[in-house]
Amino acid sequence: GRIMRMAAKIIEQTGTDEAAVEAWRRVAGAARTDVSVLIEAGDRLLRAGAGEDSARIFEAAYAADPTNGRLLVMLYRSELLFSDNERLAELAALIVRLYPEEAERAVRLAQRARRPEVKAIEDGSSPALLDSVAEEPLPVRIRHALKQQDVVALAEIAEAEIRREPDSATAIWLLGEIALIKGDRERGGELILRACQAADAELEDPWKTLGRLAEEEKSEERLSYYVSALMTNGQGRIRRMAAKAL
């Protein structure tokens, strides 16, 4: 198991995202009920954007250690990427009811995803969670809007983010994506770069866009800015984008 984990970490640093995801899947499969290994594999997969794989792993870890409320929070975090409102409300209700000590952590995750559960979690009113009817989680809405290149939807989300937080990295990133969709690569690149500089560790999407821009950039000056920024990121797969661009 330890060798497989070492190999997965090496692949994560030197291989493709797809190869890294597959390596961590194998680690999780071999771990069976080793909760610490499952947590590591689930976290790595979540960071790689493999939310459904991550969720399955955290679900298995929780089944192996049902007294560990942190695992349920990790499952909730994973499912924010793809689950529907009812499922997310059920998970939040379980956290509140069974593991109130983890409620604060769940609140932070729900706030980041602009989830309607926030108020109910804070109040400890778990039954209300199951009755909540709201729009899709923010990451899902953004993903749909980007896929459809829906400038209006992206602008609405960005505007709401700015009202909530004037220097929102998410808003800056989305404004950059809008500029790129409209064909303004220079302005889009500037905004994406700003978003990366303002983003916390949880927001990887601007970095991925910056990596793509670096690969396509013809201006040596802008390329140097992009690559320099990418190299400040601590994740191997992001730094690989810089190497690929060069």
Tens-digit pLDDT profile for the chain (246 aa)?
788 889 988 888 887 888 889 999 999 999 888 899 999 999 989 888 788 999 999 999 998 888 888 899 899 888 888 877 778 878 888 887 888 888 778 777 777 666 655 555 555 554 444 444 345 667 778 888 898 899 988 998 999 888 888 888 899 999 999 999 999 999 999 999 999 888 764 578 898 899 889 888 888 888 888 888 888 877 777 777 777 777
Helix (H) or strand (E) holding 134: none
Q: Are residues 122 and 144 located together in one domain of the fold?
A: no
DSSP classification of residue 113: T
Q: Are residues 36 and 61 in the same domain?
A: yes
96 with 150, same domain? no
- The mean of the pLDDT values for the chain is 82
Cα dist. 159→154, 156, 175 in Å?
9, 5, 9
Contacts of 21 (CB under 8 A, 6+ apart): 45, 48, 50, 53
User: What are 1's two structure tokens?
Assistant: 């198991």
Q: What is the CATH number of the domain that holds 66?
A: 1.25.40.10
**What's the token pair of residue 123?**
């109040």
CATH code of the domain in which 196 resides: 1.25.40
- Over its C-alpha atoms, the chain yields an Rg (Å, rounded) of 19
Contact 198, 167 (CB under 8 A): yes
Domain match, 106 and 151 both: no
As for how many domains the chain has, the answer is: 2
- Identify the H or E element spanning 105: helix 103-112
The encoded tokens of residue 73 equal 């929070």
Q: Which domain holds residue 180?
A: 138-245
Q: Where a domain ends, among 131, 150, 178?
A: 131
